[in-house]
Amino acid sequence: MRIDSHQHFWKFDPKRQDWITKSMKPIRQDFLPEDLKPHLDSFQLDACVAVQAEESNSETEFLLDLAEQNEWISAVVGWMDLADPDLDQKLEQYQPKIKLKGFREVLQSKEPHYFLRKEFIQGLKTLHKKGYSYDLLLYYHQLPAIFEMIKKVGEQRLVIDHLAKPPIQSGRWKEWRKSLKPLAERDYIYCKLSGMVTEANWEDWSYEDLLPYMEISLELFGPERLLFGSDWPVCLLAGEYEQVYGVIENFTDSLSTDEKGLIFGKSAQEFYQIKSPKS
């Protein structure tokens, strides 16, 4: 399967999506499955992973409803308060929803004490027990604290969204690489080749600006733990879907067919435990 491992859907509401500011005009509108499907078809992508864009239980239900209506939405990453004392029971209620594969919070807006709390750590352990993955949305300067967190959790499946938002505009990659390396050494942690264009200069980025970050990610994680993700429609702030896809296509052209297949689907299929459609 060929999979876009990271995209979003929403019915735009300035109160619910308050992170979409007035300066983000291209994405201040509805984005639904019928808007994404032509892009997937254009690049022979079989499926996608719908990731939460709002911190609410209703967001999870919204994405699950869309996944039920569209078989090509193969996985949902919902939202959950991991410190909820009723987490175990709430996850149990979701067990019949087989497309719900994991959860995510917007950790990039949190201080380290938030995700180093014993309640949060216990929440991650509960996810592990129930078989769910966790997406890490954060900035690279938070990685050392995240490393302390994962040492307390055990081998919980984790994926780093958007390469932990490296400093692409400045081109200063050394500190980012140093912080990322200890996490990459744990084989249950994956990384998404996504979100790069919006960390670069929105108006004036180039393939060469992104290349060092892709090369380092490949060096650290290998193709078997790298996932292609468009970050559509957020990517529209800096580039069209075809431009974002083209960056990864160009980068992987030097790899073997099998390695390219890992990045464009098999790694996502393994991480999110997505079953291939019956032939």
Handedness of CA 17, 91, 132, 159 (dihedral sign): positive
Compute the CA torsion angle 270, 70, 45, 251 (nearest 10 deg).
-70
| Residue 278 within any structural domain of the chain | no
| Residue 46 within any structural domain of the chain | yes
Smallest CA-to-CA distance from 211 within 247, 163, 159 is with 247
Smallest CA-to-CA distance from 87 within 53, 119, 52 is with 119
Helix ranges restricted to H, 138-240: 143-151, 174-184, 207-221
Bridge pairing between strands 73-78 and 47-51: parallel
The total number of structural domains that make up the chain: 1
At 183 the pLDDT is 97
| Residue 139 within any structural domain of the chain | yes
Sheet holding 133-136, edge to edge: 3-7, 47-51, 73-78, 100-105, 133-136, 158-160, 189-193, 226-228
Mean pLDDT of 215-236: 98
Please provide the average confidence, as pLDDT, over all residues in the chain. Answer: 96
Question: What is the chain's length?
Answer: 279
Compute φ and ψ for 100, nearest 5 degrees. Answer: -80, 105
Domain that holds residue 59: 3-271
Tens of pLDDT, residues 32-50: 999 999 999 999 999 999 9
At 110 the pLDDT is 95
| Residue 279 within any structural domain of the chain | no
At 224 the pLDDT is 98
At 278 the pLDDT is 64
Tens of pLDDT, residues 209-219: 999 999 999 99
Contact between residue 66 and residue 32 where contact means Cβ atoms under 8 Å apart: yes
Per-residue pLDDT band at 279 (split at 50, 70, 90): very low
Per-residue pLDDT band at 100 (split at 50, 70, 90): very high
Tens of pLDDT, residues 138-197: 999 999 999 999 999 989 999 999 999 999 999 899 999 999 999 999 999 999 999 999
At 238 the pLDDT is 98
| Residue 173 within any structural domain of the chain | yes
125 to each of 34, 132, 150, 158, how far by Cα in Å?
Answer: 36, 10, 10, 12
First-residue to last-residue Cα distance in the chain: 12
| Residue 207 within any structural domain of the chain | yes
| Residue 104 within any structural domain of the chain | yes
Tens of pLDDT, residues 126-144: 999 999 999 999 999 999 9
Is residue 15 over pLDDT 90?
Answer: no
86 to each of 82, 124, 215, 259, how far by Cα in Å?
Answer: 9, 13, 42, 41
CATH label of the domain that carries residue 121: 3.20.20.140
